[in-house]
Amino acid sequence: MKLLIIGAGYVGLVSGVCFADFGHDVICIDSDKSKINKLNQGEIPIYEPGLQALLQKNVAAGRLSFSDNLSEAIADADAVFIAVGTPSRRGDGAADLTYVMQAASEAALLAKKRILFITKSTVPVGTNRKLKEVIAKANPELDFEIASNPEFLREGSAIEDFQKPDRVIVGVEGQRAKKIISEIYRPLYLRDFPILFTSLESAETIKYASNAFLATKISFINEVAALCERTGGDIKDVSKGMGLDGRIGKKFLHAGPGYGGSCFPKDTSALVETGQIHQIDMLITQSVIESNERTKLRMIDKIIDLAGGSVEKKIITILGITFKPNTDDMRDAPSLVIIPALLKSGAKIKVVDPKGYKEGSLIFSSAEWYEDVYKAAQDSDMVVILTEWNEFRALNLSKLASVMNIPAMADLRNIYNEEKVLSNGFSAYDSIGRKSKAI
């Protein structure tokens, strides 16, 4: 199959590389020329484990290339994947479909032979039907079909998720589209990974409903964690005890500083907005959004309490600013709410993050950046663990305490426990969902 991917971001690039690895001929295009130039020089514009090696392998095999020339790239394509961004629209939180519509009509205008449009971007229910009209209007002569193929990969484990998915969801109408998609995903089908064919509307809904459900699990456990802090009980035990129930499952029950990232915040907002358009109140999702905002604010209070009521002139070392480990993505990360609040309250901020510097240093321009945790913590009044990078999981706690001014730790990912931290020279420790004795 000859495939064209429009949008070489987290999803487009990973999909393009993995489809090439399946054996297809893939061209990735992006409107950002600097991204394409970098890719053509073998540079990866994002951090994603394993991506560089797989990309190089498939470029070398002649199956993968990058271009900014849509007209040339679409000439031979059997199918075009749309993998451009669908950010939150300012004002109402609906999905901004400008890039999707633009990409589809640009491709439609230039396509000369029969082609299948496949939407990989996350788009609200009804969008693919609108896209059909947009494509037909842009090029009334074009013979085309449309399919909805939402993506479920997670940043940080994107290659593995793409190559070994829990399921592939495909919304289609005609048999021909189904045949092409089946051919594209044949390597997965042969290995018994489930491929579920549905209507366009069901496929679109599955994506939003899945993300909203996962966001609900996280917010639920964060609320239970807040209750444990008041009442006693350890949220880690509570999560474990709940997760052992097969109906609940143990995943997405880790209490923390609130969910962030490129998907959950915008997709939950868009789902609520879609509900409003159709006069259905998405009450649960609405509460999840509010609960998540409160969780982030609760973290700020926690840090201030641990600092004795004020962080003014306090030196705080933040460990991790990306929304989760193994990515450089900062979109909607809890750090974007927590760090500005601490700065506003007069704290001095130092940061250590293995991959967050490139973007984070532009956002937190007054912060000091370090590669080494112990150098960063020198003379600090507190360390705050915000993202659970592996590098922060086995810190030498006594060494850390010894270089700090006031050794206090806010462990917002529950990596450590109070006894261990205090017995290594810390004077104060707080975590999530565990009643602290030492504040």
Binding site for ligand NAD (CB under 6 A): 6-12, 29-32, 35, 83-86, 99, 102-103, 106, 121-122, 151, 153, 155, 262-263
CA distance 394 to 337: 26
Taking CB positions, which residue lies at the least distance from ligand NAD?
9
CB count in 10 Å sphere of residue 199: 13
Query: Considering the complex, what minimum distance in angstroms separates the CB of residue 145 from ligand NAD?
Result: 21
Please, which residue, 272 or 395, has the CB nearer to ligand NAD? 272
Query: Considering the complex, what minimum distance in angstroms separates the CB of residue 418 from ligand NAD?
Result: 34
On the CB side of 44, how many CA atoms lie within 13 Å of its CA? 19
Please, which residue, 152 or 416, has the CB nearer to ligand NAD? 152
Query: Considering the complex, what minimum distance in angstroms separates the CB of residue 72 from ligand NAD?
Result: 14
CA distance 328 to 336: 14
The kind and range of the H/E element at 403 are helix 397-403
Q: Are 203 and 170 in contact (CB under 8 A)?
A: yes
| Residue 265, strand partner residues | none
Query: Considering the complex, what minimum distance in angstroms separates the CB of residue 150 from ligand NAD?
Result: 7
Q: Are 154 and 166 in contact (CB under 8 A)?
A: no
| Residue 411, strand partner residues | 385
CA distance 437 to 439: 6
Strands (E), 68-222: 79-82, 115-119, 144-148, 168-171, 195-198
What is the layout of strands, in order, in the sheet containing 64-67? 64-67, 25-29, 2-6, 79-82, 115-119, 144-148, 168-171, 195-198
Query: Considering the complex, what minimum distance in angstroms separates the CB of residue 412 from ligand NAD?
Result: 22
Please, which residue, 107 or 384, has the CB nearer to ligand NAD? 107
Residue 280 token pair: 């259905």
Q: Are 382 and 405 in contact (CB under 8 A)?
A: no
Which phi and psi (to 5°) does residue 79 adopt?
Answer: -145, 145
Short-list 60, 193, 202, 33, CA closest to 128: 202
Please, which residue, 323 or 364, has the CB nearer to ligand NAD? 323
Any catalytic annotation for residue 263?
yes
Please, which residue, 153 or 225, has the CB nearer to ligand NAD? 153
Please, which residue, 268 or 317, has the CB nearer to ligand NAD? 268
Give the number of residues written for the chain.
Answer: 439
Query: Considering the complex, what minimum distance in angstroms separates the CB of residue 393 from ligand NAD?
Result: 23
Place of tokens 């509460």: 287
Active-site amino acid positions: 263
